[in-house]
Amino acid sequence: MPGRQLVVEADGGSRGNPGVAGFGALVRDVRTRRVLLERAEPLGTASNNVAEYSGLIAGLEGVLRLAADADVEVRMDSKLVVEQMAGRWQIKHEDMRRLAAQARALVRQISEAGGRVRFTWIPRADNAAADALSNLAMDGRRIDRLAESDDTARDTTAPAAEATPTANEATTSTTAAIDSGRGPVLTDPHRIVLVRHAVTDNTVSGRLDGRGGSNPPLNALGQAQAQAAARAVATLVDGIPVSEAAPRKVRVVTSSLARAMATGDAIAAALGVDPIRDRDWDERSFGEWDGLTFEQIAARHPAKLARMRMDPSYPPPGGESRADVAARVHRAWSAVAPGPGVTIVVTSRVPILVVLNHLLGIAPERFWALATDPASISVIDLWADGNLSVPAVNRVDHLTEVERS
């Protein structure tokens, strides 16, 4: 028998389709009608459908946080999402297939815990609360509000951070001040360590190598870099105080690409944990440009290359736009951001830049300004009141001169 009865109300929107996008989701208790959880997140540039699916995923993740064995009714005003999730409409677009697969995996988790999920289409007027949250997200707000009791709530409502570091500020600490309606929380941050994979032969030769490409292994230099990164990350984790309120929980998450998995496996072994794979952390797909150097692309397609670097919605031929990558990376970030503890994410350059640009509020035209060298380490601390600090970006002091070459 399913347990608690819950309702998920979810929505997403895009001002331009594709354009500035965001999602909103909330979870209600059916009996009391009380809102138990609210979530909203900007998605950068994305389509309406991506935003709507992202809202659904956020709502289902909220159910798993509250009561995995719940009897859940998902209510959305997106006929497309409801019919596709119910299995009555085919899903033709690859991005939608990936999103639907992620949503179904969450539904499966609820079902395996003894719960069940059903989908109901509702008119837009009946989805006003989720719509309001998605509009806040499109305005740049981030919300993760969990009601813990009738008179206590954890509120991490956050506007976009305003700091804009320049390239190669390897150890600059930036703190985003966030007004959450409560006093500051100064203890037990959730530390997220972003590690770029070590080098392959393609990395050394400057050839693009994204999702769907040749997926080469680490070369000998890369293997040495991975071991050096593992030692450095282990030192970072050992240096974090442990409190009774927040006992240390450590996890390692990697993309599904061979170079990230090998780097992550070295780190996981040093920490004594099993790595978790998440394809949403994969490097951008470069399509027809995969395996080429920037010099070759600039010689053959100078206008397309210039547009791709400046326009987040423009993909390389047959590949992903920066907005496409941002949509899946934001989903992956939402899965790792809840703390406390330490999470190490081993991924590639573009996903790291998506996270750092988003958290630091860097203008889209400055997307490429931050340096992210192979086997580099960047550190983000998140507090329960919504504040964040970035104490390190592109740290490479753990590598020898040979390993940095």
DSSP one-letter code for 142: B
**Is 197 labeled as catalytic in the residue annotation?**
yes
Instruction: For 298, list phi and psi in degrees, rounded to 5.
Output: -65, -35
Tokens 């929380």 sit at which residue? 185
Query: Strand pairing of 19-29 and 5-15?
Result: antiparallel
The number of C-alpha atoms within 13 Å of 374 and in the hemisphere containing its C-beta is: 26
d(CA 374, CA 31): 52
Helix (H, G, I), strand (E, B) or coil at 144: strand
Residue at 303: amino acid letter: A
List 41, 283, 320, 403, catalytic entry: 283
List 38, 61, 197, 330, catalytic entry: 197
Strand-pairing partners, residue 277, are 254
Beta-carbon contacts of 157 under 8 Å, excluding residues fewer than 6 positions away, are 141, 142, 143, 144, 145, 178, 180, 181, 386
Cβ atoms within 10 Å, residue 184: 11
**Are 197 and 347 contacting, i.e. CB atoms less than 8 angstroms apart?**
yes
**Are 252 and 273 contacting, i.e. CB atoms less than 8 angstroms apart?**
yes
**Are 254 and 264 contacting, i.e. CB atoms less than 8 angstroms apart?**
yes
**Are 338 and 190 contacting, i.e. CB atoms less than 8 angstroms apart?**
yes
d(CA 29, CA 204): 54
Q: Which two tokens stand for residue 221?
A: 């230099």
Beta strands in 171-220 (DSSP E): 174-176, 190-196
**Are 38 and 141 contacting, i.e. CB atoms less than 8 angstroms apart?**
no
DSSP one-letter code for 243: -
Dihedral sign (CA 283, 284, 290, 293): negative
Q: Counting Cβ atoms within 10 Å, is residue 30 exposed (0-12), middle (13-18) or buried (19+)?
A: middle
Query: Strand pairing of 388-395 and 5-15?
Result: unpaired
**Is 398 labeled as catalytic in the residue annotation?**
no
d(CA 391, CA 169): 10
Query: Which residues carry out catalysis?
Result: 197, 283
